[in-house]
Amino acid sequence: MSASGASRWMNCTPSARLEEKFDESSTSTFAAEGTLAHEFGDVNLRFKNGEIDEKTLKAELKKLRKDKHYTSEMEGEVDKYVTIVMEAFAVAKARTPDAKLLIEERVDFSHLVEKGFGTGDVCIVADGFLDVIDLKYGKGVKVDADKNPQLMLYGSGALRNFDMVYDIHTVNLVIVQPRLDHLSEWKISTEDLIEWGQKEVKPKAAKAYQGKGVQKAGDHCKWCKVKAMCATLAAVNVKLAQHDFKDPHLLTESQVLGVYKQIPMLVDWANAVGKHLLDEAVKGKKWQGLKLVEGRSNRKWTDEKKVQEALIENLFDEKEFTTTKLQGITAVEKLVGKSEFPTILGNLVIKPQGKPTLVPMSDKRPEMGIEQAKEDFK
């Protein structure tokens, strides 16, 4: 019944209890990267907020850099998030001198969801306004703040904690997705947020906690642990293949659009089924008609330094077996400094126009002209 899973259990109330039957022990590389990025963000924000001194900051950063998921790119991307948070806090302090910046604050929303609580990345509290800011380090799926149930639940919990002290009338939900250069903000009045909690969340949360309701397939299935074995999701996807097309050779325009809209869910479900079969086979399960084999792999050096020493001993020139490569823009920007970067390298950086992409009309990007699309698509 987590806030991060709210879009799932609010749309498909039985999913919360069904997920209990599946193993939660494995953590993906993406999740581990996200956790590390949050730790970098937290320690930098605590330093800028005066909660820790520079010596502690350096010690914490040194420790985090030893993590196997660390990359130099990570710190540069997280810096974007830190900058946005501190700018928002400066605005809040200008409005209310005793505004508070709360980092990794436990948020209790159990008045809406049984045993419901979570940890908000950042809450900024000032007279009239509450900012709830969330870092999304992933770049696979763009996440918007507009009606985002996770942030709305965090906002509901934080509002309950601070409303009496600061007389809040507006909650500002913010998602920072630095690797996509994506910043999304959405405001909601406290009255509307409270009404949403009571009318939308509370009754659905009660059903979800009891495992009641009707299973429903949709975009919310993407992160569901049940999806590989979900009969409802399977039925929706299989129905596409069993469609009784009038012309077996050609689809109508509406049929093509129907298939296209279902592609993401169909592919995601198929991949989930494949992963489930593999995971179970690794544990010892025997599937009829399938067997577990060793996959292909590429050779790699056990010790690059010793390889270089061996080649030099055998009179090979170092230039023959080494290459140099310029670091990425984010890493160089950090080296040079954000203030100096535009002066020194600004005229050497371009942002190429993106390739034409077909998206739903709800996407916020402006529509391309057809002639421009034709030219770019060449």
In a domain, 130, yes or no: yes
CA angle, residues 137, 138, 143, in degrees to nearest 5: 95
**In the structure encoding, which two tokens stand for residue 350, read together?**
């371009």
> Which pLDDT value is given to residue 81?
95
Contacts of 9 by beta carbon, 8 Å cutoff, 6+ apart: 1, 15, 16, 204, 205, 208
In a domain, 204, yes or no: yes
Residues 240 and 134 in one domain: no
Question: Do residues 107 and 158 touch, judged by C-beta distance below 8 A?
Answer: yes
Q: How many domains does the chain have?
A: 2
> Which pLDDT value is given to residue 136?
95
CA nearest to 46, candidates 158, 121, 126? 121
Residues 247 and 204 in one domain: no
Range of the domain at 231: 219-282
In a domain, 200, yes or no: yes
CA nearest to 330, candidates 75, 135, 87? 75
Contacts of 225 by beta carbon, 8 Å cutoff, 6+ apart: 19, 22, 24
Residues 278 and 134 in one domain: no
Sign of the CA dihedral running 257, 262, 264, 270: negative
In a domain, 349, yes or no: no
Residues 14 and 160 in one domain: yes
CA angle, residues 21, 27, 28, in degrees to nearest 5: 120
173, β-bridge pairs:
132, 186
Question: Do residues 169 and 190 touch, judged by C-beta distance below 8 A?
Answer: yes
In a domain, 305, yes or no: no
> Which pLDDT value is given to residue 203?
94
In a domain, 138, yes or no: yes
How remote is the C-alpha of 42 from its chain's centroid?
A: 17
CA–CA dist 235, 243 (Å, integer): 12
Across the chain, which has 378 residues, the per-10-residue mean pLDDT values are 90 90 70 92 94 94 93 90 95 91 92 91 92 92 91 93 84 94 94 95 94 88 86 81 61 80 84 86 87 84 91 89 86 86 90 78 78 63
Residue with tokens 């830190």: 82
**In the structure encoding, which two tokens stand for residue 3, read together?**
């806030």
Residues 259 and 186 in one domain: no
Q: Which of 155, 186, 210 is the last residue of a domain?
A: 210
β pairing state of 117-126 and 100-108: antiparallel
CA–CA dist 260, 242 (Å, integer): 16
Segment (H or E) for 259: helix 253-282
